[in-house]
């Protein structure tokens, strides 16, 4: 033990969070960071911080040694303090922390390491911009709100492990260096030195491995899995994310829903101490698009969509009559507090409808038994009445409607609905609204190329009654494919899988993967399916999004210790970076710089 700072001068006896009025009179040995130094009435006070809390250290300058060792202390210096816990004088007590009524009278203070002046102050409400916080992430993570999120994340993951262990799930790791995986995003690839010209992929998910584990007989598998996808980043995406990857044998959709509900209940109990109401409602994909114009509905905001085409009927209002003649629909939703939308809000909503490709935005306000608004004069009393009934328009409410083909028109309204909620600030942040979406279509089609691709991934089991349509009318094939959505965020996706090679090959063929190609890319899975693959299914809730919801923050980056920026860079360690020419040489790789 020494005072040089290279070695600890003594053993730590307590953490800062463990100092409270029960310890008055005890000698304690603390270590941590200088959060603040101030002078008052000839005394010096140091706030000492560690991950557990903050405690006030009192320096009496009459102790010459302590005075000397604390004179030039600066913020974020790391120190060790020996001292006695004592009650603070009445006028100095604070009730915002357990250590607020006590302080530690320093008998010895040892500098363990000095700190540069930090580029931003370590406070709860940091002013620094996010780039600076990401560059100095170790300082950012010292802030209480960030540390709390890491603690929350840890507790949630621990609860998940315990919960799944209690239900006989085995945690099994799958490889990080894999053959290209088929989640539909771009792979990150890793060159093989031993096999020049060949590459591993980083897993987009452990999908194929978890299915093969079912073939191996591990009927309940999970993994807190890192998934890497080289996608353009959106606000709630990261190039690498973490999911609770799960798979079960001999199950149906309803078993996975029950598991998902019990798991979410455990997570919310642990994270927020609240009880969720289960079972969660279930809504088919077709119905959710019809009602909310999106497959990720935020139902907290109400304002469901309705179809108004029939209510217009044989209208003289030309714009609508022509559209109906072309086979288009009129759909809309009611803003109950219509008066709260100012003119400029409405103009902005109209502009946004147009930006999404709509011809305009119909606005009709209910006044008593009739309608008012720019186009009301074109609508006779009977049409007005039918519109009120069809949309459920309340007195003072505003009906916003768009004309176009379904489901396109529903998607436009789905976006407008969210914009209205944003403008009116009607989202109840304290509410968690869960819903399962199921009966997704198995395929979607690229309008330009006519190419079919899986809506989720290639391995979802079609509905039995739709299998006959696989080749004839792929878009009509529904799959046992489900999402769990909470407050408009997709928290989990999963499906019951295909466990027959023949059916799997038929599904692949629809997406343009012929037998030969399938054998080349997925042969190991297809082979495994031939050795007694059990019926199985799974789901994968996203850890980052769940913790983000629990923490009540808007950015997924805030719940990841070392996240990447929107441009997929890490500001702290400057990844990605060029590598040495020798390293490239070994890998037989030459770089062709992008054209200017």
List residues binding ligand ASP (CB under 6 A). Answer: 183, 205, 207, 227, 493-495, 538-540
* Matching residue, tokens 């040089």: 4
- Closest CB to ligand ASP among 49 and 497? 497
- Closest CB to ligand ASP among 111 and 157? 157
- Closest CB to ligand ASP among 70 and 223? 223
Token representation of residue 198: 């060949």
Token representation of residue 207: 């999908």
List strands edge to edge, sheet with 305-307. 305-307, 329-335, 398-404, 362-367, 370-372
Alpha-carbon torsion, ordered 259, 263, 265, 268, to 10 deg: -160
Token representation of residue 100: 């607020």
- Closest CB to ligand ASP among 103 and 544? 544
CB of 77 within 8 A of CB of 60? no
DSSP 440-461: -BSEEE-TTT--EEESS-TTBP
Output the CA angle 59-65-67, nearest 5 degrees: 35
Cβ at position 278, least distance to ligand ASP in Å? 20
Long-range contacts of 298-301, Cβ-Cβ distance < 8 Å, separation of 24 or more: 298/418, 298/421, 298/427, 298/433, 298/487, 298/488, 299/433, 299/435, 300/427, 300/428, 300/431, 300/433, 300/487, 301/417, 301/418, 301/420, 301/421, 301/426, 301/427
Cβ at position 509, least distance to ligand ASP in Å? 21
CB of 309 within 8 A of CB of 278? no
Cβ at position 205, least distance to ligand ASP in Å? 3
- Greatest Cα pair distance in the chain: 96
Closest residue by beta carbon to ligand ASP? 205
Cβ at position 522, least distance to ligand ASP in Å? 14
Whole-angstrom distance, CA of residue 428 vs CA of residue 331: 26
- Closest CB to ligand ASP among 397 and 441? 441
Tell which phi-psi region holds residue 112, choosing left (phi > 0), alpha (psi between -120 and 50) or beta.
alpha
Cβ at position 211, least distance to ligand ASP in Å? 9
Give the residue from 483, 495, 496, 525 showing the smallest Cα distance to 508: 525
- Closest CB to ligand ASP among 404 and 494? 494
Whole-angstrom distance, CA of residue 2 vs CA of residue 222: 48
Cβ at position 204, least distance to ligand ASP in Å? 7
Cβ at position 478, least distance to ligand ASP in Å? 16
- Closest CB to ligand ASP among 48 and 548? 548
- Closest CB to ligand ASP among 54 and 480? 480
Cβ at position 525, least distance to ligand ASP in Å? 13
Cβ at position 183, least distance to ligand ASP in Å? 6
Output the CA angle 544-295-285, nearest 5 degrees: 130
Cβ at position 79, least distance to ligand ASP in Å? 46
- Closest CB to ligand ASP among 239 and 494? 494
Whole-angstrom distance, CA of residue 8 vs CA of residue 32: 12
Cβ at position 223, least distance to ligand ASP in Å? 11
Report whether the peptide linkage leading into residue 284 is cis, meaning its omega lies within 30 degrees of zero: no
Beta bridge partners of 37: 46
Cβ at position 491, least distance to ligand ASP in Å? 11
Give the residue from 531, 535, 560 showing the smallest Cα distance to 545: 560
DSSP category for residue 404: E
Burial class (CB in 10 A: 0-12, 13-18, 19+), 158: exposed
Evaluate the CA torsion angle 287, 293, 294, 297 in order and state its sign. negative
Cβ at position 538, least distance to ligand ASP in Å? 4
Cβ at position 540, least distance to ligand ASP in Å? 4
Question: Cβ of 530: how many Cβ atoms within 10 Å?
Answer: 11
């Amino acid at each position: 033990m020494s005072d040089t700072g290279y070695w600890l001068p003594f053993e730590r006896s307590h953490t800062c969070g463990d100092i409270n009025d029960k310890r008055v009179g005890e000698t304690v040995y603390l270590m941590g960071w200088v959060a603040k130094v101030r002078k008052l009435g000839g005394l010096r006070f140091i706030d000492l911080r560690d991950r557990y809390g903050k405690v006030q250290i009192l320096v009496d300058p009459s102790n010459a040694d302590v005075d000397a060792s604390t004179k030039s202390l600066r913020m974020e210096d790391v120190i060790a303090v020996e001292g006695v816990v004592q009650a603070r004088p009445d006028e100095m007590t604070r009730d915002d922390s357990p250590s607020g009524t006590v302080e530690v009278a320093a008998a010895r203070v040892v500098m363990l390491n000095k700190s540069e002046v930090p580029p931003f102050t370590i406070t709860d409400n940091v002013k620094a911009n996010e780039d600076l916080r990401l560059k100095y992430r170790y300082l950012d993570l010292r802030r209480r709100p960030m540390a709390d999120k890491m603690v929350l994340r840890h507790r949630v993951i621990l609860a998940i492990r315990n919960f799944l262990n209690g239900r006989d799930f085995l945690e099994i790791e799958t490889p990080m260096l894999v053959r290209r995986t088929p989640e539909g995003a771009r792979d990150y690839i890793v060159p093989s030195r031993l096999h020049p010209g060949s590459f591993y992929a980083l897993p987009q998910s452990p999908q194929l491995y978890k299915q093969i584990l079912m073939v191996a007989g591990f009927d309940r598998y999970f993994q807190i899995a890192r998934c890497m996808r080289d996608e353009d980043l959106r606000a709630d995406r990261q190039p690498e994310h973490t999911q609770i990857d799960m798979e079960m044998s001999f199950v149906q959709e309803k078993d996975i829903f029950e598991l998902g509900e019990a798991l979410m209940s455990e997570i919310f109990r642990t994270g927020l101490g609240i009880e969720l109401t289960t079972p969660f409602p279930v809504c088919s994909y077709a119905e959710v698009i019809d009602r909310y114009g999106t497959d990720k509905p935020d139902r907290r905001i109400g304002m469901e969509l309705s179809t108004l085409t029939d209510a217009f009927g044989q209208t003289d209002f030309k714009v609508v009559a022509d559209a109906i003649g072309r086979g288009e629909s009129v759909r809309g939703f009611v803003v109950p507090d219509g008066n709260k939308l100012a003119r400029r809000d409405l103009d902005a909503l109209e502009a946004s409808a147009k930006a999404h490709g709509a011809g305009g935005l119909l606005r009709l306000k209910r006044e008593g038994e009739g309608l008012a608004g720019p186009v009301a004069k074109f609508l006779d009393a009977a049409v007005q009445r039918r519109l009120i009934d069809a949309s459920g328009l309340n007195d003072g409410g505003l009906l916003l409607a768009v004309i176009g083909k379904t489901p396109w028109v529903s998607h436009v309204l789905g976006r407008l609905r969210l914009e209205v909620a944003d403008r009116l600030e009607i989202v109840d942040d304290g509410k968690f609204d869960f819903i399962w979406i199921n009966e997704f279509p198995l395929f979607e089609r690229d309008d330009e190329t006519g190419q079919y691709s899986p809506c989720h991934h290639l391995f979802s089991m079609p509905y039995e009654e739709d299998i006959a349509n696989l080749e004839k009318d792929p878009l009509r094939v529904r799959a046992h494919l489900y999402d769990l959505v909470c407050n408009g965020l997709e928290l989990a996706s999963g499906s019951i899988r295909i466990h027959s090679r023949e059916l799997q090959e038929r599904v692949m063929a629809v997406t343009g993967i012929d037998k030969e190609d399938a054998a080349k890319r997925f042969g190991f899975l297809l082979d495994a399916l031939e050795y007694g693959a059990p019926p199985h299914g799974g789901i994968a809730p996203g850890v980052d999004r769940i913790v983000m919801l629990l923490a009540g923050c808007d950015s997924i980056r805030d719940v990841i210790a070392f996240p990447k920026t929107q441009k997929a860079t890490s500001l702290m360690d400057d990844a990605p970076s060029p590598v040495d020419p020798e390293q490239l040489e070994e890998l037989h790789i030459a770089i062709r710089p992008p054209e200017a």
